[in-house]
Amino acid sequence: MADSTNNTLRAIPAMDALLDSSWASRFFDCLGRETVKNIIREALDRLKRDICAGAQLNLPIEKETAIRAEELLMTRMSSTLKPVVNATGIVIHTNLGRAPLSDSAINAAAAISGVYSTLEYSPESGGRGGRNAHVEWLIRLLTGAEAALVVNNNAAAVLLALSATAAGREVIVSAGELVEIGGSFRIPEILEFSGAKMITVGCTNSTRISDYSGAITENTAVLLKVHPSNYKIEGFVKSASREELCGLASSRRLVFMEDLGSGLLVKLDLPFTNHENSVKECLKDGGADGGIVTFSGDKLLGGPQIGVIAGSKQLIKKMKEHQLARALRVDKITLAAFEATLRLYFTGRYKDIPVIKMITLDKKDLHEKALVLCRILKDAAARNNTGDLDISIVETSDAVGGGAYPTDALPGFGVALRSASISAEALAAKLRTAQTPVVPGIRDGSVVLHVRTLITGDELLIASALTACN
Ligand SMILES: *Cc1c(COP(=O)(O)O)cnc(C)c1O
C-alpha cells in the first residue's frame, strides 16, 4: 500500500473522538449510543474502502470523516421506501411499485391492518374459515372460473400450479414462449423448480399444434401457453391457438395451463386491448375442460401484488392442498386491498382504479394536465429565478409497462425542461434526488415530465423538486 494511503488511513479520527462531537451526540437520545457507534463504524468502513480503492478526497480527512458519518446517521433516520413522482409515462412501472391502489383498496387495507379480523374465522360457526374464500367468489363471478386461489404473485401462481399438476412429469411449451420477465421470472427455471421436466417444441417464431401432439408421451402432464408479455416477434409468426391447445389437451386427458401475465378482467375500449382476450374469454376458450389460467394482481388489474390461479375446480383443489400453498399464501392487508379492488369491478366502478384511469385518459385530458403542470412550473421558475430554463408542452409516447403491450405506445403529453447551462441527464439526476424523488423521461436533450402517470398533488412536488435544483 502506498505511504500516502497509509497516512490518510492513520489520520482518520478515533471512534471516541467522533462520538464526543456534537453532530454525533445529538443522535444519542433517539438511537442510543451503541447504535450511533455502529452506524459511524459502518461509515468509517466505507471511507476506508474508498481510500484503499484510491478515491481522491476533496476535504481534509477529519472533515470528510465527520461529514460522511453524519450523512449516514441522517440517512438511517428516514425511510428509504418512500413515495416518488412517476413522470415516466409508464403506467405499470415494476421498479416504482407497479399499480398505485384505488382509494377503496387503501381504505380497506388500512381498516384491516390494525385490528383482529375474520381472516380465517367464521363468525357463524365460531370455527375456522378460509382466507381464500373472501375473494374466491368474486374471482369466479368476474372470470367465470369454477374455482380460484390467490397466492403471493403470478410467479408463485405458476410455480404452485405446475408443482401440483406436473411434478416429476413433462410440460410441453413452445420455444417461442420461453420468456424472461423483469430479469427474474424465467419459465424454464420455474419449471425446473416445480420438479417438472420441460419439453420445448417448435421454433422461436413458429410452433404448430402438430408440434405439441408429436411431443406428447405417456409422461406428459401439461400443455403450457405463456403470454409473450414483454416482447413481440414481428414478421412470420405462427403459434398454436388456445382453442387448438385446449382441444388437444382434453382429447389426450392433459391439463391445459395458460400464464396470462397481466390478465384483463374487463375489455377496455382501447385499440391495443382489442386483440387481447379478457380472462373470462380465455377461460371459456381454454378452461372448460380442466384448464387453468394464472395472472398478476398488480398489473392491468390495478390491485396489490398477488397472483391468481383460476379454472378447474378439481385442479385448484389439488393446489389448495399442496404444501407450497401455505408458503405462498397472501397476507391480510393484501387480501383486503385485493377484495376491495375486485369489488370495484363487481360494481362496475373499475374506472376508479388508478391504472385503468391512467391508461384510458384521452388526449384532451392529457393536454389539460400538461397545461396545468406547465403553468405551475413556469410560476415556480419565475418566483425562484431558475434562469435559463425553457419550459414547454410536448407530445409524448407513453406505455402500459409491466411487460404488457410492449409495442403499443400510448400517445400522450408532457412538459419538457431544457437548460443551456445543465445537461438533461444532470437535471434529471437532480430531480431524482429531491426530497420526494421525481423520476422523469429524457428525450432529445430534454427532461420530459409525462403527465399521464401523475397523481393528484404531484405537480407541486415537481415544482418544489425543480426549485430545489438551484
Ligand atoms: C409479469 C409476468 C409474470 C410475473 O408476474 P409477477 O406477478 O410479477 O410474479 C409471469 N408471467 C408473465 C407472462 C408476466 O407477464
Encode pLDDT of 72-112 as tens digits. Answer: 999 999 999 999 999 999 999 999 999 999 999 999 999 99
For ligand 1, mutation pick of 185, 193, 226, 334 (most atoms within 8 Å of CB): 185
Ligand 1 pocket, residue 226 CB under 6 Å: yes
CB atoms within 10 A of CB 457: 11
pLDDT for 177:
87
pLDDT for 321:
97
State how far the Cα of 453 lies from the Cα of 450, in Å rounded to an integer. Answer: 7
What distance in angstroms lies between residue 88's CA and the mean position of ligand 1's atoms?
21
State how far the Cα of 369 lies from the Cα of 441, in Å rounded to an integer. Answer: 17
What distance in angstroms lies between residue 296's CA and the mean position of ligand 1's atoms?
6
b/e burial code for range 8-18 (CB count within 10 A of at least 16 → b): beeebeeeeeb
Find out whether 187 and 226 touch, Cβ atoms under 8 Å.
yes
b/e burial code for range 36-63 (CB count within 10 A of at least 16 → b): bbebbeebbeebeeebeeeeeeeeebee
pLDDT-based confidence at residue 227 (cuts at 50, 70, 90): confident
Q: Which of 215, 218, 230 is nearest to 174 (CA)?
A: 215
pLDDT-based confidence at residue 153 (cuts at 50, 70, 90): very high
Find out whether 307 and 296 touch, Cβ atoms under 8 Å.
yes
pLDDT-based confidence at residue 409 (cuts at 50, 70, 90): confident
pLDDT for 233:
60
pLDDT-based confidence at residue 369 (cuts at 50, 70, 90): very high
For ligand 1, mutation pick of 184, 229, 230 (most atoms within 8 Å of CB): 229
- Sign of the CA dihedral with 121 first, then 127, 131, and 133 last: negative
State how far the Cα of 147 lies from the Cα of 129, in Å rounded to an integer. Answer: 17
CA angle 96, 151, 280 (to 5 degrees): 90
What distance in angstroms lies between residue 153's CA and the mean position of ligand 1's atoms?
8
Find out whether 449 and 374 touch, Cβ atoms under 8 Å.
no
State how far the Cα of 295 lies from the Cα of 75, in Å rounded to an integer. Answer: 37
Q: Which residue blocks in 53-153 are alpha helix, DSSP H?
A: 61-77, 103-113, 133-143
